Amino acid sequence: MLRLRALLLLAAALWLVGCAAPQPVPRTYVVLLESPDGTTGRVVVSDAGGSRVLERAGQGTVIGDARGATFEVDDAQRQRDFGGAIGARPPVPEAVVLHFERSGVRLVPESQRRMVELAARIREWPAVELLIVGHTDTVGDGPFNERLGLARAQAVAAELASRGVSPLSLTIESRGERELLVNTPDETDEPRNRRVVVSIR
């Protein structure tokens, strides 16, 4: 009799434990992810539980929980809770560098090939905003290089347009020889400085 009662108690206790077992779904929580550039930064959560830092990708914490515990959020939960937000993420802005032949507006062959793929990608970019900035090396004087940088940027803009790119906004600028990528003395032929940077947002 006593043993039966003990058994029943044990069963009841197990049943209670079983009921409590499923983790409650966190109501308000944050999950750290790896950044698109491959690095992982940190977030600092401040709430009733004080302040705590998440610094590993996949690490989460409830916001407004006095215990301040952290936990792992797996792909399945991430997809279930955040599938919509993740799917709606616009492309992360990027910059592409194109290089030029000496003292002119002709792209080097490698950059010319790249142009085809670049134009295709920009066409797919939703409501794309473009900033095209031309640079030169230090061959020639300052005013000449201001004009050359602008001409290079305009040439890239024209080529993108001819390949069907029609951006929401387009800004064309020249830095001439004022922002060298590789520092050189004046009148130095430096292929890496002869460039146009296309910033895509």
Partner 1 sequence: MPARRIFRLPRLLAAAGFLLLLAPLSGRIAAQEANAPIGHVKTVSGEAWVGPRGAAPEARPGMPVHVGAVMRTGRTGTLGVTLKDNTVMSFGPDTEVVVDDYLFDPGQGGLKLAASITRGTMNFVSGLIAKLRPDAQSVRTPTGTIGVRGTQFLVKVDDPAQTTE
Terminal CA-to-CA distance of the chain, rounded, Å?
77
Phi, psi of 80 (to 5 degrees): -65, -45
d(CA 10, CA 58): 38
Does position 70 bind partner 1 by CB under 8 A?
no
- Shortest reach from residue 94's CB to partner 1, in Å: 9
Give the CA count within 13 Å in the CB-facing half-sphere of 198: 28
- Shortest reach from residue 10's CB to partner 1, in Å: 30
Is the CB of residue 173 less than 8 Å from the CB of residue 147? no
| Binding residue (CB under 8 A) for partner 1 from 13, 42, 104, 179 | 42
* Binding positions for partner 1, 164-193, rule CB under 8 A: 168
d(CA 194, CA 102): 8
| Binding residue (CB under 8 A) for partner 1 from 6, 14, 16, 48 | 48
- Shortest reach from residue 164's CB to partner 1, in Å: 17
d(CA 146, CA 134): 9
- Shortest reach from residue 119's CB to partner 1, in Å: 19
33 vs 180, beta carbon nearer partner 1: 33
* Binding positions for partner 1, 82-141, rule CB under 8 A: 82-93, 126-127, 129
